[in-house]
Amino acid sequence: MQLNISRQAANYLKYLLPFLICIFGDISFYTFWRNDLGPHISPVIFTLFGIGVGITFFRILFAGYKGKFQYDRKLPSVTGKPQRYTYAYLILIPLLAYWYFELSGVFQSLPIDFDTNPFKTRSDVIPNVMSYVKKTVNGEFPYQPIRGKEWTYELMPTYLTMTWLPYIPAELLHADYRWVPVIALTICILVYYRQSIPLKSNPLFFWLAFIAPILFLYLQTKFNIEDFKLTVEGLVTAYYLLLAFALGKKKYTWIVLMVLLCLLSRFSLLFWLPLLVLVVWQEYSIRYVYKGILAIAAGIVLLYGIFMIKDPNIFINAVRYYSSATVGEWTIADWLKEQGGQHPFSLSRGTGWAIWFYDYLDGTLEEKIAILKKVQLIIVSATTLVLCWHYWRHRMHTNGWLYALGSLKISLVVFYAFIQIPYAYLYILPVFLNLPMLIYGLKILNGELQPVSATKPDHHQ
């Protein structure tokens, strides 16, 4: 009996340990180890750990199909002890309350309004969002040039609809916009706990799943507080987290809805969609693919296309403005030169590979940026092709929805690795995607999820 338990524990470690190491490396190189190895090596290690999370997740997924975790476990479990739910939530509530208290102090220390010069608040992201919202509430066309009373420059409107539309209630209630992404992330955390504390969990997995979001929020708040203080990226991250949970639960309607919201906030999802099409086709039928495409197209027309009726060029103008803004971000600012800075600020944060192209390519900034764009397109497209080929080859031997989740992580990591302006706050999205991957990986290891989708026959003998 003791030997059998030891073998089971060794089997757990064989698959779980590499998975946890990659997750730890991913969050570490985004928080307390960020840029510790310098602006060139740090993003490489950061990217490798992110891809590693996806690969080790696939390893668990395919091992589950082979029956590695489908056995009579003699390890302790929490079955029949629902009070553990109560204890967990009793711990969670004050921790979330303390997090809210800390953020409240942070927000009060730096009030942000639309007209204040962004150089005083060190960010124009939130004032940018305010512009769309205020104009919409006042019955004006939101996609107009943006400039507050104290601003020394003008911005062109580039944000997609779901980046700013959810902030209308905050404007009407005269609330701080920064609470919107915080509340959105809180909803995701509650969804996570709803799925991550099943009665069948053994104590190790139970507490590992419980501690993970707390640790993520602690590290993010301690080392990347500006992501909450100066940006609203948490809302976009929440869209992707809800998409991940929808994939894990195989909720087709929710998947379609969250794909729509993700597309109307960030284009980074586009390259992953061919894989999702294959999964829907395999798990359901081509009819569901057409239904999903039509629903998403209708949503885009309704929520974004309606603004193009007044100005058909808002999308093209946004793309052009982003390209011109990229050159500015690749230029070393005067204040940075005075401090002896050798690289543009956004390129030297230890997150993206753009600094390699900045330092080691010849030519003008425009030429270097153009090459990076081509490299990103080639590598991300190649990644999508490999993932599609690998899925199709093994489609009868895996859970397609969970494969889509793992591939989403890899696709986003590669996309953001080669993004032209690697703003550090953008990477909260792929990093926090580790949370749903962790819970579904643990569920597979614990024998609680079908390694092959129930919507197709299981060919495992």
Q: What is the pLDDT of residues 20-50, one digit of tens each?
A: 999 999 999 999 999 999 999 999 999 999 9
Say how many Å lie between the first and final Cα of the chain, rounded.
26
Determine, yes or no, domain membership for 149: no
Q: In this structure, are residues 88 and 23 in contact, taking their beta carbons and an 8 Å threshold? A: no
Range 102-128 average pLDDT: 91
pLDDT score of 120: 84
Determine, yes or no, domain membership for 263: yes
Number of domains comprising the chain: 1
User: Which of 142-146, 330-334, 450-454 has the lowest average pLDDT?
Assistant: 450-454
Mean pLDDT of the chain: 90
Determine, yes or no, domain membership for 162: no
Determine, yes or no, domain membership for 117: no
Range 177-199 average pLDDT: 90
Does the pLDDT of residue 401 top 60, yes or no?
yes
Structural domain range at position 430: 2-112+178-445
Confidence tier at 72 by pLDDT (50, 70, 90): very low
* Both tokens assigned to 382: 């190649």
pLDDT score of 67: 72
Does the pLDDT of residue 107 top 80, yes or no?
yes
Q: What does pTM read for this prediction?
A: 0.93
Q: In this structure, are residues 216 and 435 in contact, taking their beta carbons and an 8 Å threshold? A: yes
Determine, yes or no, domain membership for 414: yes
Does the pLDDT of residue 80 top 70, yes or no?
no
pLDDT score of 77: 44
Does the pLDDT of residue 185 top 80, yes or no?
yes
Confidence tier at 98 by pLDDT (50, 70, 90): very high
pLDDT score of 5: 52
Determine, yes or no, domain membership for 144: no
Determine, yes or no, domain membership for 122: no
Q: In this structure, are residues 357 and 363 in contact, taking their beta carbons and an 8 Å threshold? A: no
Q: In percent, how much of the chain has pLDDT > 90?
A: 74
Does the pLDDT of residue 121 top 90, yes or no?
no
Does the pLDDT of residue 82 top 70, yes or no?
no
Range 356-370 average pLDDT: 97
Determine, yes or no, domain membership for 459: no
